[in-house]
Amino acid sequence: MRKQRLVTMVAAGAAAVMTLSACGGGGGSSNNNNKGGGNPSATGPNAAIGKVFNPSDKKGGTLRMANAGDWDSLDPGDTYYAYSWNFIRLYGRSLMMFASAPGQDGAKLTPDLAESKGVPSEDLKTWTYKIRKGVKFDDGTPVTSKDVKYGVSRSLDKDTFPNGPTYFNEFLDLQGYTSPYKDSDPNGLGLKAIETPDDQTIVFKLKKPFADFDYFAGMPATMPVPKAKDDGTKYKEHVVSTGPYKFEKVELGKSFTLVRNTNWDQATDPNRKALPDKITMQLNVNADDLDNRLMSGDLDVDVVGSGVQPAAQAKILADPNLKNASDNPLSARLWYTNINGEVAPLDNIECRKAVEYAADRTGYQRAYGGNAGGEIASSLLPPIIPGAEKIDLYPSKDSAGDVDKAKEALTKCGQPNGFETNISYRAERPKEKATAESLQQSLGRVGIKLNIKPYPTGDYAKLYAGKPDFAKSNNLGLMVFGWAADWPNGFGFLKEITDSRNIKAAGNTNFSIKDPKVNDAIDKAMTEKDENARQKAWVDVDRKAMESAYALPGVVAKGLYYRPKNLTNVFITDGFSEYDYLALGVSG
Amino acid sequence: MAGSPEDSRATRPPRPSTVFAYIIRRLIGAVILLFVVSLVTFSIFFLVPRIAGASVEDMASRYVGKTADAETIRQMAEKLGFTDPLLTQYGRFISAIFVGADYSTGPTTVHCPAPCLGYSFITQNPVWPDLVDRMGVTISLAVGAAVIWLLLGISTGVLSALRRGTVFDRAAMGVALAGVSLPIFFTGLLSLTIFSYGLGWAVPGGTYVNFADDPLAWAGALILPWVTLAFLNAAGYARLTRATMLETMNEDFIRTARAKGLNERTVVVKHGLRSVLTPIITIFGLDLGILLGGAVLTESAYSLPGLGAYAINAIVNNDLPKVLGVTLVGATFIIIANLVVDLLYAVVDPRVKYS
């Protein structure tokens, strides 16, 4: 009782302050020139989706952030979390970046350290960028193209920096180059795949044509690193900044603090407002406590950006005042189940189609918390990805499954009475367990008997479901999984989970989709020069993957985010499917 | 009751040389025990998976990024030394404790000085400095809570025993039962919600100030975890003290003491309480040792950066060298605490001899 009253008190307080701040919002000296407009007095659920909530240009204050886990690395060459790529723009400048803007505008690339977008050669294998003049490191040294080249070169060394993506390793024409630390060139600039004809020009040479290279140029690995300050794995403790903030203090695994970088010049940077004076980050904070602190006003942002925990979710949805301060956006993340064609009888496409038809997707959605947890998916590409189209090849009334069609497919594949197979999920994820149980029930309607097999989350892709030999020998016919886009475009979402040529001995992201037609469609999409046609080509990859029935789409994820009253300039960016950390300011 | 606390012959302290020899013997035993602990822990992490069928690549795959190919995994396995025979790996781990070890950071090499308890390949840091860094938090938490729970637990237990059956006794034992039953991740979050975010009396979770920087702020930041943790443990001590006290107060030597005309206060404190202390010290040694090894749940409930939270992160991230390091440090604390307890027996109970 007491707890409930307390929560109500806190909520009422929050609501009161919010109303007051909304009243006072118009009289401030700030002039609102945000893209997307946004009405300063607009409150309520989802007020920060597609528009700016509480717009402001007021500088000052401390933005207090926290992370329930640890950062993979603060080193721009060694990080691979969406939140980290969102946050890193505060202290680093890559050649390109996602624009700091609400909704779909936030998923558009804009030049950052580069003056303009990359200029490709006719064959799409050479990409040239000009670097802005006047950009400096936080010690005042000017940034040159050689610092960018050095940054990319060192990120290739996966012995030293294992966390980051491997796109440059795969696409650059490396000619055997592995690391600047094993380079005969004393400056570590021996990599021939990147040329720096002068201090302002950088040229990337690829071994295969690629139309979306600007997305690569937006990865943190293209942030300049001064060779003199590089000490490999230790660099993350004292990253040299090129953004509006630099590190004041880094305590690994505990916390870090960013303060203003006096050598950052607004004149060279059209993308950043840099509102707070200081940004503090606490690491390894108890996740439930973190939510409580957000709601009590003691913290401003949960940096992981996947939404609040179930306990806080229940509280927020039940209380109108709390709900008014929350956002529930769709993300570029799909929860789905792989259908393993290596396991009989799922090697027959009709048996796989039977699974697609029999599955009750409303049960899938319930497993993820109903409407607040996500929208029912009918294909792989999430709707917020530009150009995505609705594809529903296995329709059923109310998405509850079509038992008749499923039985028909079973008859066609020679298993009229159904069959028995295993379904795996990640043991520490209750939602995946609920998914497996829900599928067990709905597939059971047509005689497909599922035995449920949990495996540890940490090793799921490396030792179990993502290891083809293991999956085959353990009869894992269905494997529950999820995927989030590296970038919100067709390539960023689909390439890693649909290209069968990527499948390795272990540690896969594509567990099941093995179809040459899909691969051909991918190749076509990757070399399509026209952006609209390219988006359509990726939709074609999505359709072909669904035709081959190797994946059962479940739910496009939605996170429930709490928006503390203290925050200004708040909006969800489709670039990262979370609040845009570059734009945030504080009013308190 | 030969050898009761009244026996003046036995209250003589043991000869220093005997105690010294005893300590040396125990210390040698402790080193052997730590060696066994290290061997067992090492085997759990490095031998058991191999027996269970994991290849060296499987083991190395935890230390590479999510997009690594087979070649990278193989290279990582070699870099981490997983391809060497297990005995060589164990030998390397042990020798690092005594002479340190070198680890490549890319362009340069980091020396991990003795006692090098391993090197985390995930955070790229030697484990020992991390542990030292976090020990302050855990010691602060453990010692503060221990003081509170000892005072609170023992006094409540004694009072309850002396006023057996009264309202106080029943209420205290009821609260104590609640104390042992409620898990800290519940009481921890509840106390934060009420005292920190609701009433604003305490600091929010995750706050820690070094004692040397500001003793007052240090105590202020820890008071909530102290009290919550102490409440949990005090309950057990109160129940134990009460039971032992009730038993003791019926002993012959208490009757003798009363018959000698000593006042009740002396009887209770000097005679009764003294015999109650033996079982209390026994469990206190264990509890404190475990606590110093890492008050896992308390630290994660309050987001305190101590050994317990460190261990949890290490386990979640599959960071084996860290887990190994924390285990060894935890074992050391428990062994030391037990040694201290055994020595304290002589002070409390004169029947104990070290010859």
Which one-letter amino acid corresponds to residue A141? T
- Per-residue exposure over A304-317, b if at least 16 CB sit within 10 Å of its own CB, e if not: bbbbbbeebbebbb
Provide the shortest C-alpha distance from residue A286 to chain B (in Å). 5
Predicted confidence (pLDDT) per residue in A330-340, tens digit: 999 999 999 99
pLDDT band at B211 (very low <50, low <70, confident <90, very high): confident
pLDDT band at B13 (very low <50, low <70, confident <90, very high): low
Predicted confidence (pLDDT) per residue in A459-480, tens digit: 888 889 999 999 999 999 999 9
pTM for the model stands at 0.86
Fold of A73-240: D-Maltodextrin-Binding Protein; domain 2 (3.40.190)
pLDDT band at A42 (very low <50, low <70, confident <90, very high): low
> In terms of CA atoms, which chain A residue is nearest residue B317?
A458
Number of other CB atoms surrounding residue B312 within 10 Å? 17
The pLDDT of A310-330, averaged and rounded, is: 92
- Our measurement of the distance from residue A482's CA atom to the centroid of its chain's CA atoms, rounded to an integer in Å, reads 12
The pLDDT of A259-277, averaged and rounded, is: 96
Contact at CB, A159 and B75, closer than 8 angstroms? yes
Chain A residues lying within 8 Å of B65, measured CB to CB: 80, 158, 162-166
Answer whether the bond into residue A345 is a cis peptide, omega within 30°. yes
A233 in B contact zone (CB under 8 Å): yes
- Per-residue exposure over A325-335, b if at least 16 CB sit within 10 Å of its own CB, e if not: bbbbbbbbbbb
Predicted confidence (pLDDT) per residue in A68-83, tens digit: 888 989 999 999 989 9
Structure tokens at B115: 């006692």
| Amino acid A14: pLDDT | 39
The pLDDT of A531-545, averaged and rounded, is: 95
CA terminus-to-terminus distance, chain A: 31
Q: Per-residue pLDDT for A1 more than 70?
A: no
> In terms of CA atoms, which chain B residue is nearest residue A281?
B206
Chain B residues lying within 8 Å of A254, measured CB to CB: 305
The pLDDT of A264-275, averaged and rounded, is: 95
> Which of A235-249, B198-212, B265-279, B307-321 is most confident?
A235-249
- Cross-chain CB nearest to A233 (options B64, B124, B197): B124
B297 φψ region: left (φ > 0), alpha (ψ -120 to 50), beta (else): alpha
Please state which of the ranges A3-12, A106-115, A450-459, A484-493 shows the lowest mean pLDDT.
A3-12
Q: Biggest alpha carbon distance in chain B? A: 85
Distance CA A95, CA A111 (A): 6
Q: Per-residue pLDDT for A18 more than 70?
A: no
Q: Per-residue pLDDT for A29 more than 70?
A: no
- Give the single-character DSSP code of A557: E
Span(s) in chain A for CATH 3.10.105.10: 330-558
The pLDDT of A559-570, averaged and rounded, is: 93
Number of other CB atoms surrounding residue A38 within 10 Å? 20
Q: Per-residue pLDDT for A238 more than 80?
A: yes
Cα atoms in the Cβ-side hemisphere of radius 13 Å centred on A472: 9
Contact at CB, A232 and B107, closer than 8 angstroms? yes
CB A399 within 8 A of CB A422: no
Question: Which ipTM value was assigned to this complex?
Answer: 0.83
Please state which of the ranges A196-205, A437-446, B59-68, B219-228 shows the lowest mean pLDDT.
B59-68
A463 in B contact zone (CB under 8 Å): yes
| Amino acid B354: pLDDT | 64
- Which residue in B11, B39, B70, B2 sits closest to B349, CA to CA? B11
The SS3 of residue B215 is: helix
CB A150 within 8 A of CB A183: no
| Amino acid A445: pLDDT | 95
Predicted confidence (pLDDT) per residue in A570-586, tens digit: 999 999 999 999 999 99
Kindly report the CATH class assigned to A330-558.
alpha beta
Contact at CB, B205 and A163, closer than 8 angstroms? no
pLDDT band at B63 (very low <50, low <70, confident <90, very high): confident
Please state which of the ranges A8-22, A448-462, B176-190, B243-257 shows the lowest mean pLDDT.
A8-22
Number of other CB atoms surrounding residue B167 within 10 Å? 8
Contact at CB, B65 and A164, closer than 8 angstroms? yes
Predicted confidence (pLDDT) per residue in A419-438, tens digit: 999 999 998 888 999 999 99
Distance CA A114, CA A224 (A): 12
Interface with A, mutate which of B58, B124, B134, B201 (most A CBs under 10 A): B124
Chain B residues lying within 8 Å of A290, measured CB to CB: 303
Q: Per-residue pLDDT for A301 more than 90?
A: yes
The pLDDT of B181-197, averaged and rounded, is: 85
Distance CA A123, CA B43 (A): 55
Predicted confidence (pLDDT) per residue in A142-174, tens digit: 999 999 999 999 999 988 998 889 899 999 999
| Percent with pLDDT over 70 in chain A | 93
| Amino acid B59: pLDDT | 82
Structure tokens at B124: 């790229």
Contact at CB, B194 and A231, closer than 8 angstroms? no
Q: Per-residue pLDDT for B2 more than 70?
A: no
Answer whether the bond into residue B115 is a cis peptide, omega within 30°. yes
- Could you tell me which residues are beta bridge partners of residue A278? A62, A259
> Which of A162-166, A213-217, B179-183, B199-203 is most confident?
A213-217
- Which residue in A309, A303, A328, A329 sits closest to A83, CA to CA? A303
pLDDT band at B6 (very low <50, low <70, confident <90, very high): very low
CB A243 within 8 A of CB A261: yes
Predicted confidence (pLDDT) per residue in B241-279, tens digit: 888 888 888 888 888 888 888 888 788 877 777 778 888
Which one-letter amino acid corresponds to residue A165? P
Provide the shortest C-alpha distance from residue A354 to chain B (in Å). 32
Chain B residues lying within 8 Å of A292, measured CB to CB: 189, 192-193, 197, 205
Span(s) in chain A for CATH 3.40.190.10: 73-240
The SS3 of residue A457 is: coil
Cα atoms in the Cβ-side hemisphere of radius 13 Å centred on B225: 32
Q: Per-residue pLDDT for A39 more than 70?
A: no
Predicted confidence (pLDDT) per residue in B14-61, tens digit: 566 777 888 888 889 888 998 898 899 888 888 888 888 778 888 888
Predicted confidence (pLDDT) per residue in B95-152, tens digit: 988 898 888 888 888 888 888 888 888 888 889 988 998 998 999 999 899 999 899 8
| Amino acid A143: pLDDT | 97
Which burial class, exposed, middle or buried, applies to A167 when counting CB atoms under 10 A from its CB (0-12, 13-18, 19+)? buried
Structure tokens at B15: 């000869």
Predicted confidence (pLDDT) per residue in A177-224, tens digit: 999 999 999 898 999 999 999 999 999 999 999 999 999 999 999 999
The SS3 of residue A332 is: strand
Chain A residues lying within 8 Å of B104, measured CB to CB: 160, 232
- Give the single-character DSSP code of A65: E
Provide the shortest C-alpha distance from residue A226 to chain B (in Å). 13
Cα–Cα distances (Å) from B30 to A405, B23, B289, B337, in that order, read 70, 10, 14, 11
Q: Biggest alpha carbon distance in chain A? A: 74
Which one-letter amino acid corresponds to residue B46? F
pLDDT band at B355 (very low <50, low <70, confident <90, very high): low
| Amino acid B289: pLDDT | 83
The SS3 of residue A136 is: strand
Can you tell me which residue has the tokens 């994946």? Answer: A551
- Per-residue exposure over B249-277, b if at least 16 CB sit within 10 Å of its own CB, e if not: beeebbeebeeeeeeeeebbeebbbebbb
Q: Per-residue pLDDT for B9 more than 60?
A: no
CB B300 within 8 A of CB B316: no
B118 φψ region: left (φ > 0), alpha (ψ -120 to 50), beta (else): left
- Cross-chain CB nearest to A286 (options B61, B64, B301): B301
pLDDT band at A58 (very low <50, low <70, confident <90, very high): very high
Interface with B, mutate which of A179, A463, A503 (most B CBs under 10 A): A463
| Amino acid A32: pLDDT | 36
Q: Per-residue pLDDT for A530 more than 60?
A: yes
